[in-house]
Amino acid sequence: MDKIAIITLLSLYFYFSAFGMKVFDMKEIRNPSTLQIKVLQDWHQVNGVIQTRQKLVTINVGELWPGQEYRIPVRMVVPANRKAKGFHLTGGSSPSRLEKDARPNPNERELLEGGVGLVITVVQEPGTYGQRALSQAAEKRFAKTLNPRVKIQYWAWPATLMRAITTAYAEKDHFDKGKVAVSGGSKNGASPSMAIIHDERMTAVHATVSPIWDSPLRLNDDDAWKELRAQPGRRGGFTGGHFGPNFNERVLDAGGTWKDLQNFARDISDQVFISRNLKALRKRGVDMLFHPGTHDFVAFDMAWGGKHHPTIPVYLGANSGHGKRGHPKSEKDQQNKAAFMLKHFFPSKMKGNLLAPPQVKSERKGKTLRVSVSFTPDSGEESGRIWWIYDRAPDGSPNYLSEMIPDNQTKEMKKMGGSWTATIPLPATAKQIDFFSNHGRTLSYNKNAYKTYISSPYTRVQLTK
């Protein structure tokens, strides 16, 4: 067989092995009989600031490939004197931490006192808890086949969250079905954002520093990647990746082609990105709020997302992202996650609503740019502050991540009529300007105030032809 024929067969193998099935079999995910539960700590009372009952188990999420079990611990927490109705779910723990009884934080105590449970599991790189060989084997198989089932990031982590729901609802003496809100950052933001597309038992997602939309870089667009490769500096292992760490080079080294990567990104993206499922999620009544960060190596495409998906609710902490310190004028009193959870589970008890994304307009006037941000009438926004940066480097590039919004490039906005306005100076040498604004509203629950913020769509304006 000649070389061209071998390459063609390899390409067909890559394509059909990846797309001959959907990522998740939801009948399998919802089946409690296949959990193979092992009880590590049976239901027991835990005293503290609030009394709870807790149970720790391990479950079989499923097989990554035939014979390779993916097993994860799950801790369940319910009120001391009644069943929980629904729960808050997160994967932001580790096997060693889960061995200890959970000590609910103030926001979790509010949920428990209202009758909402907690379910805590592990969405972490297996190498961090002693299973590096499993992680390496999965990556090697994925690079050779582009089969999402063997990719921990695409299958195992979202499946872990969904199987944890199945685990909790199998405890019929301790959980009644209700709302399920999922939250987390990084891999624990990406995993629920993917899982909620498939699992209608999930009713809300709050995700930080994680992907939201299907920008050209993520889809391996030729022009976008040509621009990225031309940028100075060394790209990290995440920027330019489809839904997290970039695996392009490993796939190419294993015999795949750029076309295989483009086909994979094209055909799997409907199952991955919030942006491609907005209509269905909104029809289900799903609550969503995202904190992608303005300088994050996973959420590396803010300008594209702001232009194409301005209605997705985001809060942009200026100069935020993995390992970033933030801007000195950023909102230090922000309590979005706590307010989001309380509003989702107890809408009638929370006074006020979280702000919805506003509309933004801009107009160049000589050496200035006039910006106007408008909310729907009676939104109740209380403040406005705008941030800007000139000639920011292209999405995903090293300088995009390293060059911060300067300390002096922010100002409070003025409320004029129904809009918040600001005038930004334009240096003669500036070729483009990026800007966004943050707006606050104070909500109240059980006489406690919660400071919340929403951002206008991240906007890029070209100043030269």
Q: Give the pLDDT score at 21.
A: 54
Query: Which tokens sit at 312?
Result: 């997705």
60 touches 71 (CB < 8 A): yes
Q: Give the whole-angstrom CA distance, residue 91 versus residue 247.
A: 23
Query: Which tokens sit at 189?
Result: 């933001």
Q: Give the pLDDT score at 351.
A: 97
Residue burial 395-409, b: 16+ Cβ < 10 Å; e: rest: bbbbebbeebbeeeb
Indicate whether 53 pLDDT > 90. Answer: yes
Query: Which tokens sit at 35?
Result: 């959990």
- SS3 label, residue 352: coil
Indicate whether 136 pLDDT > 80. Answer: yes
pLDDT in tens, 232-283: 999 888 989 999 999 999 999 999 999 999 999 999 999 999 999 999 999 9
CATH architecture, range 3-354: 3-Layer(aba) Sandwich (3.40)
pLDDT in tens, 369-390: 999 999 999 999 999 999 999 9
Query: Which tokens sit at 217?
Result: 């870089």
Identity of residue 65: W
pLDDT in tens, 70-113: 999 999 999 999 999 999 999 999 999 999 999 999 999 999 99
What percent of the chain is modeled with pLDDT above 70? Answer: 95
Cα of 318 vs its chain's centroid, Å = 18
Q: Where are the domains of the chain?
A: 3-354
pLDDT in tens, 408-422: 999 999 999 899 999
Taking alpha carbons only, the member of 104, 115, 122, 110 closest to residue 184 is 122
Strand-pair category, 419-425 with 432-445: unpaired
Q: Give the whole-angstrom CA distance, residue 55 versus residue 167.
A: 11
Quickly count: other Cβ atoms within 10 Å of residue 323's Cβ.
10
Q: Give the whole-angstrom CA distance, residue 432 versus residue 389.
A: 9
Q: Give the whole-angstrom CA distance, residue 385 versus residue 53.
A: 44
- CA angle (410, 438, 425) in 5-degree steps: 30
Indicate whether 352 pLDDT > 70. Answer: yes
Half-sphere exposure of 362 (CA within 13 A, CB side): 26
pLDDT in tens, 199-209: 999 999 999 99
Indicate whether 17 pLDDT > 60. Answer: no
Mean pLDDT of 168-184: 98
Strands of the sheet containing 359-365, edge to edge, are 359-365, 368-374, 419-425, 414-416
Mean pLDDT of 317-339: 97
Q: Give the pLDDT score at 20.
A: 52
Residue burial 199-212, b: 16+ Cβ < 10 Å; e: rest: bebbbbbbbbbbbb
DSSP code of residue 105: -
